[in-house]
Amino acid sequence: MVDFQSVLDDIYTNLKDEVNRGLVASYIPELSNIDAQHFGIYLKHCNGQSYSVGDWNHKFSIQSISKVLSLSMALPLYSEAIWKRVDVEPSGNPFNHLSLLELENGIPRNPLINAGAIVIADVLVSHLKNPKQDFLNYVRDLSNDQSIDYNYKVAASEKLTGYTNYAAANLLKAYNNLDNDVDEVLDFYFHQCSLEMNCQQLSNAFYLFANHGISLQQKQYLTPSRAKRINAIMLTCGFYDEAGEFAFEVGLPGKSGVGGGIVSLLPNHFTIAVWSPGLNEKGNSLLGMQALEQFTTKTKLSIF
């Protein structure tokens, strides 16, 4: 049995004093205020044990990590028809690029880039009576934590500066791949991305992807087949145009966000969340990527 606490302690010791920590995201003004020195890790094992180090209990804006959670909520509502509106291929482009969307007639490459996540947001707006509250309740239930909430300042900041997202949504609308009003869909999308969670809450929320669609509370949210498909999309599309590098170096399904969070998992074994706000040039947490590479190297636990 791996001594997970010792492994996390070693990784933290190796990286906590790193001088090059990347740059905190500044294109969303509210995110630019975060201290780049934060660094925390939390691991939830499928046997019920948990391990943590550093700033694991500090809440941060999960941003694009929320796209996996919205997809997992939308799939049971919309079933396999969802794949007619969004593809499952890696984009090879940054998360907010629009060129492929026009070339491919308004069908986003995958649900984890912005255009794809906006389509998923449209699905939820169509199917939920109170989309923002219903999605928040869903994430709270997955994590078994009613304290999780949106950061309304971050949501407002995104709305004020989200010009590329407005462009993507209008392009989707022009190609008849958005059923609802652009402003309504983006209001939900901006709130979704502004969710604040800590590493423990993230690990707990993603537990169902490591447990064949069954949450911490032993509730079946996804069929095993759908959980497997979402894991596959995380592996191939979860890190913008650095997904191949993450698979190569780390070898786990996962998802990053520009708030500096990364959550990864190994089915039947664990979920692990890392937070360090400084980003590399691809928009992924610089220390988070290094921490997870060290983790799978030290434990020899990956899908490969």
Which residues are identified as catalytic?
A: 64, 67, 189, 240, 258
Distance (Å, whole) CA 274 – CA 22: 15
Task: Tell me how far apart the alpha carbons of residues 240 and 64 are, in angstroms, rounded to a whole number.
Answer: 10
- CA 203 – CA 79 distance, rounded (Å): 25
Q: Which residues of 35-44 are buried (b: 16+ CB within 10 A; e: fewer)?
A: ebebbbbbbb
CA distance 65 to 132: 16
Spatial distance between the Cα atoms of 267 and 281, rounded to a whole number of angstroms? 29
* Helix then strand then coil, % of the chain, to nearest 5: 50, 15, 35
C-alpha to C-alpha distance for 149 and 147, rounded to whole angstroms: 6
Residue 113 in tokens = 């880039």
Q: What is the DSSP letter of 253?
A: -
Contact 260, 288 (CB under 8 A): yes
Cross-strand pairs, 256? 262
Burial bucket for residue 246 (CB in 10 Å: 0-12, 13-18, 19+): buried
Token representation of residue 165 = 């997202």
- Contact between residue 218 and residue 197 where contact means Cβ atoms under 8 Å apart: no
Structure-block tokens of residue 124: 């939820």
As a whole number of angstroms, the distance between CA 132 and CA 138 comes to 10
